[in-house]
């Protein structure tokens, strides 16, 4: 079967700074894929190019056999690419529930107008992720861990086939990391492909089936979690000897 996501020679620069240089990688259907690398290595830029928040100057992004390089972000979301943001970006003027109604209305239930049904589905997602109790609360009044969960919940509401989790666990406590990991494992079991960007090595190593390490906009190593931690280049660039 063809890979779900193909990144083919993607380059992106900001002025004279090359954030990504000819990055190529494939993500298989149903895979749990880890993306690591030091700060500024291009991880977020790469997923911005995949989600459509940024445009790559060279190369192509192919999703499920279709070239989506020129598509705006909302079109990619409708095709099944959803993401969470590293710094949570809730719709602050809305309740937690309404935050999920937006992608439900604009992606999953486009054209149908049963608000009751949409809200029921939003509530189901919130229950799954453990935010149901806050459904009617304003999203501007959530704690850090709740905001991270809301990011994931909103991404899930777009009914993705590929979910990109950008540092969903940064700054969370040990038990909170476990909670988020459990949610991601459960999502993966339902058939959703997941790309995890994470600095918490213990989490990313446990979660991923395959890991790629970026440094200065290039892939320096690719392999199983076990082989990655032994790689001398990765140790040198990221993990520290």
Partner 1 sequence: MNEYYFFAGYVVLQFVVLATAWNILGGYAGYVNFGTGAFFGIGAYTAVLLIKATGAPLGVQILAAASVGGMLGFGVGLLTLRLRGIFFSIATVAVAIILETVILNWRYVGGATGVQILRPAPTWPFDSYITMLFTVGLALAVLAVLIARYIETSWLGRGLRAIRDNEEAAECAGVPTLRLKLMACAVSGALMSAAGAPLAMYQSFVEPVSSFSLNYSVSALAMPLIGGTSHWIGPVLGALLLGIVQQVVTVTISSELNVLVVGVLLVVFVVAAPDGIVGLYRKIFPKREKE
Report the residue number, 74 or 185, with the smaller CB distance to partner 1. Answer: 74
Distances (CA, A) of 94 to 78, 98, 118, 138, 152: 22, 6, 16, 6, 16
Report the residue number, 28 or 137, with the smaller CB distance to partner 1. Answer: 137
Give the count of residues interacting with partner 1 (CB under 8 A): 33
Give the C-alpha separation, 197 to 12, whole Å. 19
Rounded to a whole number of angstroms, the minimum distance from the CB of residue 94 to partner 1 is: 7
Map residues 38-67 to x or -, x wherever contact with partner 1 holds by CB under 8 A: -------------xxx--------------
Report the residue number, 42 or 88, with the smaller CB distance to partner 1. Answer: 88
Report the residue number, 89 or 230, with the smaller CB distance to partner 1. Answer: 89
DSSP state of 217: T
Cα 49 to chain centroid distance, Å, stands at 12
Distances (CA, A) of 8 to 64, 122, 142, 169: 13, 35, 39, 28
Strand partners, 218: 215
Give the C-alpha separation, 37 to 225, whole Å. 13
For partner 1, the binding residues in 70-129 under the rule CB under 8 A are 72-74, 77-78, 82-83, 85, 89-94, 98, 101-103, 105-107, 113
Report the residue number, 117 or 178, with the smaller CB distance to partner 1. Answer: 117
Report the residue number, 140 or 227, with the smaller CB distance to partner 1. Answer: 140
For partner 1, the binding residues in 168-227 under the rule CB under 8 A are none
Rounded to a whole number of angstroms, the minimum distance from the CB of residue 92 to partner 1 is: 5
Q: What angle do CA 52, 13, 233 make, to 5 degrees?
A: 100
Cα 141 to chain centroid distance, Å, stands at 24
Q: Which residue matches tokens 């959530």?
A: 142
* CB 68, CB 94: distance < 8 Å: no
Q: Which residues bind partner 1 (CB under 8 A)?
A: 51-53, 72-74, 77-78, 82-83, 85, 89-94, 98, 101-103, 105-107, 113, 133, 135-138, 154, 157-158
């Amino acid at each position: 079967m063809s890979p779900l996501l193909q990144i083919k020679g993607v380059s992106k620069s900001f002025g004279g700074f090359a954030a990504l240089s000819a990055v190529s990688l494939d993500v298989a259907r149903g895979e749990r894929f880890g993306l690591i690398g030091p700060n500024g290595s291009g991880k977020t830029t790469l997923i911005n190019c995949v989600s459509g928040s940024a445009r790559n100057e060279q190369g192509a992004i192919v999703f499920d056999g279709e070239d989506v390089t020129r598509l705006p972000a909302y079109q990619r979301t409708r095709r099944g690419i959803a993401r969470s943001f590293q710094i949570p970006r809730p719709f602050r003027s809305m309740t937690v529930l309404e935050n999920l109604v937006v992608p439900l209305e604009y992606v999953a239930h486009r054209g149908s107008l049963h608000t009751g049904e949409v809200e029921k589905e939003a509530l189901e997602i919130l229950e799954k992720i453990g935010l149901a109790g806050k459904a009617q609360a304003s999203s501007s009044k959530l704690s850090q861990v709740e905001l991270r969960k809301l990011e994931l919940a909103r991404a899930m509401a777009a009914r993705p086939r590929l979910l990109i989790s950008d540092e969903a666990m940064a700054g969370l406590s040990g038990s909170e990391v476990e909670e988020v990991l459990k949610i991601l494992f459960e999502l993966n079991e339902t058939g959703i492909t997941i790309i995890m960007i994470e600095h918490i090595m213990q989490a990313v190593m446990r979660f991923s089936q395959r890991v790629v390490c970026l440094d200065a906009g290039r892939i320096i190593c690719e392999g199983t979690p076990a082989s990655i931690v032994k790689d001398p280049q990765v140790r040198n660039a990221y993990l520290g000897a």
